[in-house]
């Protein structure tokens, strides 16, 4: 359950007061303060024992859920439900949402629970008050999706979509959009299945026409459903992706570009690396000019310097004619290797080794020194230790050679990594090591005079 509620949290931060306030602020959360505030609100009046029961019950449920004791949780839930009859209208109104969250969690995991039980629970909870109808409908649909019941989910979403209650508050509008978008996603799923079928059909087949007509039909509905949501600031990756795929399929390149550009560059949207990745991939498919691709990846570089596209970025920069791009190319490589997850990326090391030589040959020693100065304190320990030398050599000799070359260039012949590798004697790598020694001698930035 948690996985889909998260999506909701992301999208509906505005409408949720109180309990989610910690999301919007500094990210700090003081549970004790909350309790304190609650007692102040009642004007210091002694809490009734009924309230004590329900709050104790709530913490027992939370504890049970934490320990995955679904049975116990259900037992306490049985008693906690009376909070719906709390004489304190404030608590009574907040109750359905809490009950829904806890109850759906229990029903999701409880061994004796099943889809029917969950459906019955969701249907009941939807109709307690009006504020939760959409939210619960959506989560109900997501539950059904989890269980592969696409049709039921779709029916649920359609029902929720047409639901109206007086004046919609703005928060409800977002939810309706989200519901429509999920419906769109389901239609996309059907569409892409159809697309698969179509690709297997012969164009001359009489079924082809109806199938393609069917697809068109679907796409039109879907784009209506998806289009509204992605106008609203938020993180809508799956929706955007499928929408763009459909637009592209029907040749609406401009529309797709507009959607993606908007998704990536609109400042109202939260910073989202995927937005730039989608745009980049789209532009690449479109064979956009290098300059344009570089500008997209530049932003991604600022958000996620360790992304695997950075090597591609480096290649683009290397091929560029501008000197500043060359310099950036070096920066990018260093930045990639700053991350522990990339330490064994042989391509990155190969690129760095090659590019260092190229840079130094181009007499840009200053660039290298600039990058190295901030790293010379920790890279030797981080990458070029004796331990790494040994283990790299054991696991991947080619990697060890590339690294040794970089190590030698950057921290001189005295570097442990370099020394260890250069002492190795191996038939296949003998030549390579020899070359490496030579290069280090020639280009090492340590005591270049020697």
Partner 1 sequence: MDLDEAKEFKERCTQCAAVSWGLTDEGKYYCTSCHNVTERSKEVVNTGAIPNTKIQAINRGLKRKRKLEKGWDWYVCEGFQHILYQQAEALKTLGVGPELKNEVLHNFWKRYLQKSKQAYCKNPVYTSKRKAPVLEDNPSHSDWDSEPELLSDFSCPSFVESGAESQPDVHTQKPFPIIKASQSETASICSGSVDGVEYSLRKEKGIVKMTVPRTLAFCCLALLWQRETITLSDLLSTACQEGPCPHLGSEPANPRPPRSGIFVEEDHIPYINAFQHFPEEMKLYGRDKGIFAIESWPNYEDIYKKMIEIATFLDLPRFPDITEDCYLHPNMLCLKYLMEVNLPDEMHNLTCQVVKMTGIGEVDFLTFDPIAKMAKTAKYDVQAVAVIVVVLKLLFLLDDNLEWSLSNIAEKYNEKNKEDKPWFDFRKWYQVMKKSLDEKKQKWEETRAKYLWKSEKPLYHSSIDKSVVCKRREMVVNLQKQFSTLVDSTPTIGKKSPSSFQFNWTEEDPDRTCFHGHSLQGVLTKKGQSLTTKNSLYWLSTQKFCRSYCKHVTTYEESNFSLSYQFIINLFSFLLRIKTSFLHEEVSLIEKRLFKTKYSKTKKKSSRSRKVRKY
The verdict on 52 binding partner 1 (CB under 8 A) reads: yes
Tokens standing for 83? 């909070």
Cα 62 from chain centroid (whole Å): 28
Furthest C-alpha separation in the chain: 87
Q: Which stretch binds partner 1 (CB under 8 A): 19-27, 42-50, 142-150, 381-389?
A: 42-50
CA 287, 290, 295, 298 torsion-angle sign: positive
The verdict on 143 binding partner 1 (CB under 8 A) reads: no
The verdict on 48 binding partner 1 (CB under 8 A) reads: yes
* Cβ 265 to partner 1 shortest distance, Å: 42
The verdict on 201 binding partner 1 (CB under 8 A) reads: no
Which position among 35, 155, 290, 426 is part of the footprint of partner 1 (CB under 8 A)?
155
Q: Using a CB cutoff of 8 Å and minimum separation of 24, what contacts does 415-421 make? A: 415/380, 415/384, 416/380, 416/384, 416/385, 416/386, 416/389, 417/380, 417/383, 417/384, 417/385, 417/386, 417/388, 417/389, 418/384, 420/386, 420/389, 420/390, 420/393, 421/389, 421/393
The verdict on 87 binding partner 1 (CB under 8 A) reads: yes
**Cα within 13 Å of Cα(428), Cβ side:** 4
Contact 371, 377 (CB under 8 A): no
Which position among 101, 103, 239, 336 is part of the footprint of partner 1 (CB under 8 A)?
103
Which position among 38, 69, 84, 390 is part of the footprint of partner 1 (CB under 8 A)?
84
Q: Which stretch binds partner 1 (CB under 8 A): 10-18, 121-129, 333-341, 364-372?
A: 121-129
Contact 398, 353 (CB under 8 A): no
Contact 273, 307 (CB under 8 A): yes
* Cβ 85 to partner 1 shortest distance, Å: 5
* Cβ 79 to partner 1 shortest distance, Å: 4
Window 158-177: residues binding partner 1 (CB under 8 A) = 159
* Cβ 69 to partner 1 shortest distance, Å: 11
Which position among 128, 296, 317, 336 is part of the footprint of partner 1 (CB under 8 A)?
128
**Residues found near partner 1 in the complex (CB under 8 A):** 48-53, 56-57, 60, 70-71, 74-79, 81-82, 84-85, 87, 99, 103, 106-107, 110, 112-113, 117, 120-121, 123-124, 127-128, 155, 159
């Amino acid at each position: 359950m948690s996985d889909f509620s998260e999506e909701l949290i992301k999208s509906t931060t505005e409408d949720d007061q109180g309990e989610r306030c910690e999301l919007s602020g500094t990210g700090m959360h003081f549970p004790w303060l909350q309790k304190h505030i609650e007692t102040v609100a009642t004007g210091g009046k002694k809490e009734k024992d009924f309230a004590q029961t329900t709050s104790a019950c709530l913490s027992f449920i939370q504890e049970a859920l934490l320990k995955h004791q679904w049975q116990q949780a259900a037992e306490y839930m049985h008693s906690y439900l009376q909070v719906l009859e709390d004489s304190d209208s404030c608590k009574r109104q907040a109750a359905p949402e809490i009950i829904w969250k806890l109850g759906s969690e229990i029903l999701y995991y409880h061994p004796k629970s099943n889809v029917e039980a969950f459906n019955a629970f969701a249907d009941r909870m939807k109709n307690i008050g009006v504020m939760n109808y959409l939210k619960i409908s959506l989560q109900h649909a997501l539950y059904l999706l989890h269980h592969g019941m696409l049709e039921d989910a779709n029916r649920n979403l359609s029902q929720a979509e047409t639901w109206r209650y007086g004046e919609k508050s703005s928060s409800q509008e977002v939810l309706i959009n989200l519901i429509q978008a999920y419906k769109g996603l389901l239609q996309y799923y059907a569409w892409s299945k159809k697309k698969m079928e179509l690709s297997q059909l012969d164009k001359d087949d009489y079924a082809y026409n109806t199938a393609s007509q069917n697809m068109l039909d679907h796409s039109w509905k879907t784009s209506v459903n998806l289009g509204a949501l992605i106008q609203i600031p938020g993180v809508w990756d799956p929706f955007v992706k499928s929408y763009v795929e459909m637009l592209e399929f029907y040749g609406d390149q401009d529309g797709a570009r507009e959607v993606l550009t908007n998704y990536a560059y609109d400042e109202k949207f939260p910073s989202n690396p995927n937005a730039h990745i989608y745009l980049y991939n789209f532009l690449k498919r479109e064979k956009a000019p290098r300059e344009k691709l570089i500008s997209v990846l530049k932003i991604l570089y600022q958000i996620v310097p360790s992304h695997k596209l950075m090597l591609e970025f480096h290649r683009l920069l290397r091929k560029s004619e501008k000197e500043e791009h060359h310099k950036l190319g070096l920066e990018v490589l260093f930045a990639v290797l700053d991350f522990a997850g990339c330490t064994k990326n042989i391509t990155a090391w190969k690129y760095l080794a090659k590019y260092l030589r190229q840079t130094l040959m181009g007499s840009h020693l200053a660039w290298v020194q600039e990058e190295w100065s901030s790293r010379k304190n920790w890279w030797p320990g981080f990458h070029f230790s004796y331990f790494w030398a040994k283990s790299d050599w054991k696991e991947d000799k080619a990697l060890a050679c590339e690294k040794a070359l970089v190590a030698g260039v950057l921290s001189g012949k005295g570097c442990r990594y370099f020394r260890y590798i250069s002492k190795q004697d191996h038939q296949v790598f003998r030549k390579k090591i020899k070359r490496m020694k030579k290069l280090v001698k020639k280009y090492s930035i340590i005591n270049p005079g020697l």
